[in-house]
Amino acid sequence: MRRATWIAGGVAGTSELLARSLSTGGIILIGEPYWLQLPPTEAVAKGCLANAISDFLVLPELVRSFDRQGYDVVEMVLANQDGWDRYEAAKWLTMRRWLEANPNDELAEEVQSKLSSEPERHAAYTREYLG
């Protein structure tokens, strides 16, 4: 099973929720951001689209959290910077194409604003701090 962890208040709550419908021998797949390095300030964490530094753990703490919950980590797939860049850039291309197709949409100004700020935000914050 795969779920976004915000649905149950974080990794522990999501694991507990998913375990309710997990078959014996089943596997839970959780995708969770983690800090590559702790941001030096809350402002930097917000630049990574977190509400606070405490929103995410560094990777060793995240892995340890599964052990504390009684789960075995059996596989990890981590994005490298190149993959993360491609993931983010694909969103920018999608926004640009949407703007070209919908220049008069009521959301066009908001999308343009995001498109103008997201590449720099990613380069300044997410790429350095978030995995």
DSSP reduced 3-state for 57: coil
Residue 1: per-residue pLDDT: 40
Assess whether pLDDT exceeds 50 at residue 31: yes
pLDDT at 12 over 50: yes
- Answer with the residue of higher pLDDT: 3 or 87: 87
**Region 26-43: what's the mean pLDDT?**
92
3-state class percentages of the chain: helix first, strand second, coil last, to nearest 5? 55, 5, 35
Rounded CA separation 13/6 (Å): 9
Q: In the predicted model, what is the mean pLDDT of residues 34-48? A: 96
Whether the predicted pLDDT of 3 surpasses 50? no
The reported pLDDT for the residue numbered 4 is 62
Does the structure show a pLDDT above 80 at 25?
Answer: yes
> What is residue 30's predicted lDDT score, i.e. its pLDDT?
86
Using alpha carbons, select from 46, 121, 47, 50 the residue that is nearest to residue 91: 121
What is the reported pLDDT for 11?
84
Place of tokens 């149950």: 8
Model confidence over 83-96: pLDDT tens digits?
A: 989 999 999 999 99
Q: Looking at the whole model, is its pTM more than 0.85?
A: no
What is the structure's pLDDT at 62? Answer: 94
